[in-house]
Amino acid sequence: MTFELSEEHLAVQEAAREFAQKELKPGVIERDAAMTYPKEQVRMMAELGFMGMMADPAYGGGGMDTLSYVIAMEEISKVDNSCSVIMSVNNSLVCWGLETYGTDEQKQKYLPKLSSGEWIGSFCLSEPEAGSDATSQQTTAIDMGDHYLLNGTKNWITNGGTSSVHLVIAQTDREKGHKGINAFIVETSWPGVTIGAKEDKLGIRSSDTHTIMYNDVKVPKANRIGEDGFGFKFAMKTLEGGRIGIAAQALGIAAGSLDLSMQYARERETFGKPIAQHQAIAFKLAEMATEVEAARLLVYKAARLKDAGEDYGMASAMAKYYASEVAMKAATEAVQIHGGYGFVKEYHVERLFRDAKITQIYEGTTEIQKIVISRQILK
């Protein structure tokens, strides 16, 4: 395994870093405080090709590999995790899920708009009573002959207020259990789709997270993804890749916490010298640097396995589990290193501290990742 990035990967890294520092950093504190959706910033991400990086150029995507995507995610997540979750859900859940499992007709109709960022997509699996226990779907999609009738409620939906397309998981035949679950492409403009209030969250506050209600929504048969009963496997396979994106987000939070802490520790003086020269601080930085590096190796490994066409389910679970723990720890230490300055908004680390928590929860909690890993190693 080579540890060097190619020139193409380094170029992606440079472009994402420059964009994040120049365009996302100014205003990120204010957007977070006011829960303002980063409309202009998402438009710029679309223009730069960050909204459909891995999608086939034939469908308007960037045709890049997963490694490029995680490299860009890391840089953007050092600064603005509302933007990076909007990007991640659109890239690795919506575009990838559609491109991998959609029909030609579905791809032609929806993918160019989604991969170019003209439209944003949402992935609607979680429900009030079905978060970790994802097979317990209460949303129903009843087969009415030429269409399905969709009814139910989805919770904590990223991009919920802005998306034009939802990939919705719903139960068609309860007797068949998870084999009776289907996935559908639902346009938000269709009658019966209602967007609930925006959630007021601990972190990633400017991303728009909503409850969605479906009331007798008519979904054409042509909008079912895959064979009848494929919906749960669709969700699981798609989340395997999504988790690499969230792992990269967590990596970015950890690496951003380290960068800010290094800079501060070199500048801030106590007892007559920069705090970086106090062993108590230097050792914290050494631990953070080591753990960031280890997390990066796991994230890159999962991306490389996916790019090589090998199984990556366990690797993505390990990457997400470990990187999100590292993010939480590094962001906590960053606040500690900054002392009183770390507790106020101006120095950015308190936001990373709040943002870190969600990486241990969405796209499968830490505990779910451990279920996935333990089942693999014990089988």
Which of the residues are catalytic? Answer: 363
Q: Report angle CA 137, 140, 142 to the nearest 5 degrees.
A: 145
Which one of the spans 109-117, 132-140, 250-258, 337-345 is the region binding ligand CAA (CB under 6 A)? 132-140
Which one of the spans 41-49, 164-172, 215-223, 363-371 is the region binding ligand CAA (CB under 6 A)? 363-371
Write out the H or E segment, with its range, that includes residue 379: none
342 touches ligand CAA by CB under 6 A: no
362 touches ligand CAA by CB under 6 A: yes
With respect to ligand CAA, which residue has the nearer C-beta, 49 or 364?
A: 364
CA-wise closest residue to 353 among 163, 81, 136: 81
Which one of the spans 39-47, 72-80, 345-353, 357-365 is the region binding ligand CAA (CB under 6 A)? 357-365
368 touches ligand CAA by CB under 6 A: yes
Q: What are phi and psi of 75, to 5 degrees?
A: -65, -45
374 touches ligand CAA by CB under 6 A: no
Which one of the spans 127-135, 193-201, 211-219, 319-327 is the region binding ligand CAA (CB under 6 A)? 127-135
Give the side-chain half-sphere CA count within 13 A for 123.
Answer: 27
Cβ 185 vs Cβ 231: under 8 Å: no
Give the footprint of ligand CAA on residues 236-265 (CB under 6 A): 236-237, 239-240
| Type of residue found at 61 | G
364 touches ligand CAA by CB under 6 A: yes
With respect to ligand CAA, which residue has the nearer C-beta, 102 or 313?
A: 313
128-129-133-135 Cα dihedral, nearest 10 degrees: -100
Q: Report the residue from 46, 120, 125, 276 that binds ligand CAA according to the rule CB under 6 A.
A: 125
CA–CA separation, 16 vs 48, rounded Å?
9
Judged by CB under 6 A, the number of residues near ligand CAA is 22
Indicate the pairing of strand 121-124 with strand 165-171.
parallel
CA–CA separation, 305 vs 301, rounded Å?
6
Q: What are phi and psi of 279, to 5 degrees?
A: -60, -35
89 touches ligand CAA by CB under 6 A: yes
Pair of tokens at residue 321: 């589990």
- Smallest gap from Cβ 312 to ligand CAA, in A, equals 10
Cβ 359 vs Cβ 158: under 8 Å: no
With respect to ligand CAA, which residue has the nearer C-beta, 336 or 365?
A: 365
Binding site for ligand CAA (CB under 6 A): 89, 123, 125-126, 132, 134-135, 158, 178, 232-233, 236-237, 239-240, 313, 362-364, 368, 371-372
